[in-house]
Amino acid sequence: MEAVCSDTGNSPPTTFSPPASTTPVFTGFQLCTATDIQKLITAAPSKSSELDPIPTDIMKDFLPDLLPFITKLCNASLSEGLLPTIQRHAVITPRLKKAGADQADVQNYRPISNLTFMSKVIE
């Protein structure tokens, strides 16, 4: 410790400059519109997770009825900075890293997380 103090004792103090006034500052998320959410959901693949309360293709079929709720859910999550607890789960499936790898060796696997469709929409 003494060596560090003696080696740095004559060093000039570190100074920090405040950011320039033109530096963009993040102040919050812009709320999503129902149109934004609709475009996102209709363009997304219809993959589902076993954790989804309804399959994604059925959600898409009933999207006009569900859109107000889904839009509120997304905006509340962004505003509060929280993902609903039920959306924080994933089904983890081990997959071999390389075809032909030794299946008995755990090191040859990588985890694949299957998230709920709504967690992907909010993301």
Tell me: the pLDDT tens digits for 33-67? 999 999 999 999 999 999 999 999 999 999 999 99
- Please state the pTM of the whole predicted model: 0.68
DSSP string, the chain: -HHHHHHHTTSPPP--PPPPTTS-----PPPPPHHHHHHHHHHS-----TTSSS-HHHHHHTHHHHHHHHHHHHHHHHHHT---GGGG-EEEEEEESSTT--TT-GGGEEEEEEE-HHHHHH-
pLDDT at position 26 is: 67
pLDDT tens track for 62-120: 999 999 999 999 999 988 888 888 888 999 999 999 999 999 999 999 999 999 999 99
